[in-house]
Structure 1
Amino acid sequence: NGSFTYGNRFAKDKVGVVVSASSKDHVFGSDNAEFEWNFDDAANPYIFNYEVRQYNVRRLRQNLSANLDFRLAPGHTIFVQSMYSNRKDWENRFRMRFKDVERQEDGTYVGELRMQTKGGSNDVDNARLEDQTMYNLALRGEHLFG
């Protein structure tokens, strides 16, 4: 993780340059549990559906910008501005679900257990990959006449 910025003027202050780069690699996630309640014949509450979810995310952000200005003559400047940004999210989702839990006459509970994993292929670290890239390039000028 880090960032870098450099700026300077050259050629007797006729050319200005600013370059900036940054990168952040961040690992985070979340966990939650969701319950759905029901009542047995004696009006006792019990958990009918129960889900435990876990999300693991790795986010890599990389950015680069470069800006130039050229002073052609007093009152006449050309600007070139560029930007590149990339964000990659690798995500794994895990879910454990106890479903259709029913109380039995002997006081035990019977239900269905389902496990789910949402991942990706080997070439993306077995995670779901969301890759977003953005580019921008602008050319403009400022001219004062008279």
Structure 2
Amino acid sequence: MMESVWFWLVLAGVIILALAAYAGYLLLALRRQKQAAAAVVQIQQPEAAPASQSLDAVESVKVLARCFIDGQVGASEAALRIAVLLDQPQVPAAVVAQGQVFRDVAAALAHIPTHQQWRELSREQRDQFRAEMDSIEENSKAQMLEAAQRLGASA
């Protein structure tokens, strides 16, 4: 009888530890998402972000690179956002050189409509552009991952 109680107590403890570990993992993922969102807001509305809360361009590149590696940001979006950040004057030339593949991919995607223009496209046109984006991403993904690892670690 006593052995049965110990078995259930140990099992309950293991379950509680597993749930706590999973909650920690989710909390970390949420923190990374919030950092990425803050970086995106900084990119889109730099004048609206308070100076104390704003991320500088290099830190934003670092966050977006990690988000790309983690799969939270797609390759095309990462390329477009990181390319904009790399064009900022305060970004060191070494960081720009490390992220050149993102600038190249962004240049290859530059002709693809965005926002309202995207919504105005026919379904066939959007499908054609998606196929083109997929092709560009596939051809550059390995180089983008390598660059993102360098940028995320050293930017």
- Shorter chain as denominator, the TM-score bin is under 0.3
Name the structure with the higher strand share. 1
Larger Rg: 1
TM-score when scaled to structure 1?
A: 0.19
TM-score when scaled to structure 2?
A: 0.19
Name the structure with the higher helix share. 2
